[in-house]
Structure formats: C-alpha cells, structure tokens
Structure 1
Amino acid sequence: MKALIAGAGRLGSQIAQVLAAAHNDVTLVDIDEGRVAELEGHLPVRLVEGDACEPALLEHAGAHTADLVLATTGRDEDNLVISLLAKRQFDVPRVAARVNEEENAWLFDRNWGVDTAIPAATPRVSLIEEATGATDTVALLRLSKAGVDVIETAITPRSRASGRALADIALPAGSVIATVIRAGEPTVPTPEMRLRPGDELLIVSHAATEQEIRAAFQ
C-alpha cells in the first residue's frame, strides 16, 4: 500500500512508523522545516517539506498514486482542504482526516472527501476499522489485504515486561515491534532497549491475537 500522511506531529509520525513497519510505502509531509529535519533518519519513510494544502505539493509527494491519504495536521481547515484535494483532484481511494475541534466534526464527511474521521480524543487510529471495547491492548489497524494487525500495548509498573530488554521478550511468531513511543515520541526499537512504565508499543503481526501479545508484555 502507498500512503501519504500530511502532518508530522505525534499522530502523523506514529502512524507513519506503523505503516512503514508493515512494509508499506509511506511519505510524510510537513510544512515545518525544523520538524522534517528532526525526523530525518529516525523514520523509515520519505519526508517531504511543504504545504500539503497546495495541489502541486501533494502531486510532488505522490498523491496521484496514493492508496491512502491521511490528513493529521493540527488545523481542521487544513485537514479538510487536504482531504478534498486528495479525493476530488487526485481520486485517492481512501482518505482519513483528524478532527481537532469537536464542533467541526460534522464537516468531516464525504462532501469534503473524508472517508474516515479521526476524533482528536482517539489515542490511536484504526485506518480500516476502529477498535471497540478498548483496553490497555487494542487492535488498532487491520490491513485487510495484507492480513496484518497492528496492536498497541502500554507498559505499566505492574507489567512483567517493565525493566526488561526487548531482546529478552518472546514475541508470538510472525510479530515484530514497530515502534516504542516514549515521552510522546516514536523511537526505533533496539534489542538492548529496556522498557519503562509509560512506554507504549506498537506491534505488527500477521498471526498473533491481542491476548497473545498481552501475555508477552503484561
């Protein structure tokens, strides 16, 4: 899948990390030159600096061949413009957009090119089906064509994985840790990294269930 994400804040960069870990072709766009420079070398994605509200920039970033566009900026008006351009001008099959202000939620519909609205209160986003009955470990994202789940789990002081190195944790077969979110920022996991309370992990798996992932960490 080819994904274009507009907005390299916490949400956008986390989704980029997850999609890239699931072997998707990801481009992340942000208007802030400093933010792009900060992420350079830390995410396995293509980074593009510029205003995603500009059709020429979206075309340069690959919107004309994207399977998925996500508008995750901090401004609702920008997310709506990006969504409309993606759907109407570039005919992107699937468009998701973040809703920052609850009172604007009614605008985020097909009239503005939005297939999936992402409420700001949602801590993570399911791009195809939203998780229900959320606990500390929830299935966030099902890439139905590839049969891939992305599962989130949070480390607490009572988690048996707290203080342990990633290399010492036995993951279910067909699973890999995509990213460790620490202090709000996605971090590339390394075998020697020791988990701390407050860490959030996103695990990409082709076969494991939520319960199996939970058992490995909790």
Structure 2
Amino acid sequence: MRVAIAGAGAVGRSIARELISKRHQVLLIDKDVRKIDPERVVGADWLHGDACEVDNLEEARLEDCDVVVGATGDDKANLVVSLLAKTEFAVRRVVARINHPANEWLFTEAWGVDVAVSTPRVLASLVEEAVEVGDVVRLFGLREGQANLVELTLPEDAPVSGQPVRDLALPPDVTLVGIVRGPRVIAPNPDEPLEPGDELLFVASPGAEPALRGAVLPT
C-alpha cells in the first residue's frame, strides 16, 4: 500500500514508522525544510513542499496513493489536503488529524475526510471504556459509512448473559464485530455464549446506539 502523509512532525513520523514496519510504502511531505530528515524515518520517501498546493501533490503522485493522511498541527491544512486528495486525485481513503476539538464538525465527507481522528475524543473514550460498565461507549468514528465503533461491557444483570450470540436481537444498522473476554479476543461465533464482564465491540450507526442499549442492557 502506498501512503502519503502531510506533516513530518512527531505525529507524521510516528505514523510513517509504524506503516513502514508493516512493509507499506510511505511518502512524508512537509513545507518546513528543517523537518526533512531521511535519517529520522529510515525507509520513507520525502518531499519538501506545501501539501496544500496542487503542484506539490502532483509531484508526489497522489493519484497513485491508496491512502492520504493529513497529520499536520494545523486543522486548516489538514482539511485542504483532504479535500484536494479526494476531489483532485480521487484518493480512495483519506484520514485526517483533528488538533482542536472545536473544529471536529468540519471533518466530514464534504471536506473529503473518510476518517477523522481527534486525540482528545479518543483519550476520553478510552477513559470511559476503562470505567463504564453497562453503557454504550463510543470509541471511534467511521466517517465513510457514518458509523461508529462502540463498546459495551455486560453487567452482571444483563438479560443477554448466558445467551448465545445468535440470540442477540440487535437493531438495524448494528453489527457485533468482536468480544473481548479477559486476555482473549473472540470472533462472534453464533454459538458463543455471552458472559458478564464481556466487552462487546459493535459497529453501529449513530442513530442506532439508543436501540442497541435497550436491546442488550437491563431496563
């Protein structure tokens, strides 16, 4: 997979290293010449230039990229990169970093963003996930399908405890994608019985989350 990352700061470099370790081809783009240092991310390609300018994106051959990541510290730049990647170069998947939570409402398909990542929201979700039992916790937004990855930890009195997965009466637009039970990650086999303390991972449309809560949790 070929990935272009706009922004060669600490975040962009960390993403690049992780992708390179998984044998992906990575191009880092930054307008600050001080950040162009191939020794800091061995194996990456580099381009000195403003990723908000079409000429530089053409030089980067963005049309050949499978994914573009807007990872700068400037929300405006990440939005412009996302829009250009999607509309001018037809990049299949665009991921954008949100630096300031107040700007989160802008990071939608209208700006070419398929997946938006807000560090404060992710951290808050992880805190909730660690302490909330018996409620739906939104972990991650999946913008492309207007869905969310949500987690629900079954309390002791959950009516579905002891039932097999096949008997879960899930509402429309909700799919069970995984069960975390202690150190184990379990695929949702229809015959797998649910147990108190299970962390259930669902992909759900935002409007279906209340119905999910009603279907799985005690009233």
TM-score normalized with structure 1 length:
0.55
Find the counterpart in structure 1 of residue 116 from structure 2: 117
Find the counterpart in structure 1 of residue 56 from structure 2: 57
Q: Which residue identity lines up with residue 44 of structure 2 in the other structure?
A: V
| Conserved? CA contact 1:80–1:97, under 8 Å | yes
Indicate the structure with greater helix content.
Answer: 2
| Conserved? CA contact 1:40–1:47, under 8 Å | no
Task: Tell me: CA distance 1:134–1:17, structure 2 relative to 1, closer, same or farther (3 Å).
Answer: farther
Q: Which residue identity lines up with residue 34 of structure 2 in the other structure?
A: G
Task: Show the 5 A alignment for 1:83-98.
Answer: 83-98=82-97
| 1:28-53 per-position Cα deviation (integer Å, ceiling 9, x unaligned) | 1111101113x436431001111000
CA distance in 2, matches of 1:134, 1:2: 33
Residue ranges of structure 2 left out of the alignment (5+ in a row): 131-181, 185-219
| 1:198-217 per-position Cα deviation (integer Å, ceiling 9, x unaligned) | xxxxxxxxxxxx959xxxxx
Q: Sequence identity of aligned pairs in percent?
A: 39
- Deviation of 1:131 after TM superposition, in Å, equals 8.8
Q: Alpha carbon RMSD of aligned pairs, Å?
A: 2.6
Q: Which residue identity lines up with residue 5 of structure 1 in the other structure?
A: I
CA distance in 2, matches of 1:63, 1:71: 13
CA distance in 2, matches of 1:25, 1:131: 30
- Deviation of 1:82 after TM superposition, in Å, equals 0.3
- Deviation of 1:59 after TM superposition, in Å, equals 1.4
Deviant stretches of 4+, over 4 Å: 130-135
Find the counterpart in structure 2 of residue 19 from structure 1: 19
**Which is higher, the Rg of structure 1 or of structure 2?**
2
Residue ranges of structure 1 left out of the alignment (5+ in a row): 125-129, 136-209, 213-218
CA distance in 2, matches of 1:82, 1:34: 21
CA distance in 2, matches of 1:131, 1:74: 22
| 1:121-153 per-position Cα deviation (integer Å, ceiling 9, x unaligned) | 2679xxxxx999878xxxxxxxxxxxxxxxxxx
CA distance in 2, matches of 1:76, 1:60: 23
TM-score normalized with structure 2 length:
0.55
Instruction: Specify the SS of the correspondent of 2:50.
Output: coil
Task: Tell me: CA distance 1:122–1:61, structure 2 relative to 1, closer, same or farther (3 Å).
Answer: farther
Find the counterpart in structure 1 of residue 99 from structure 2: 100
CA distance in 2, matches of 1:15, 1:118: 13
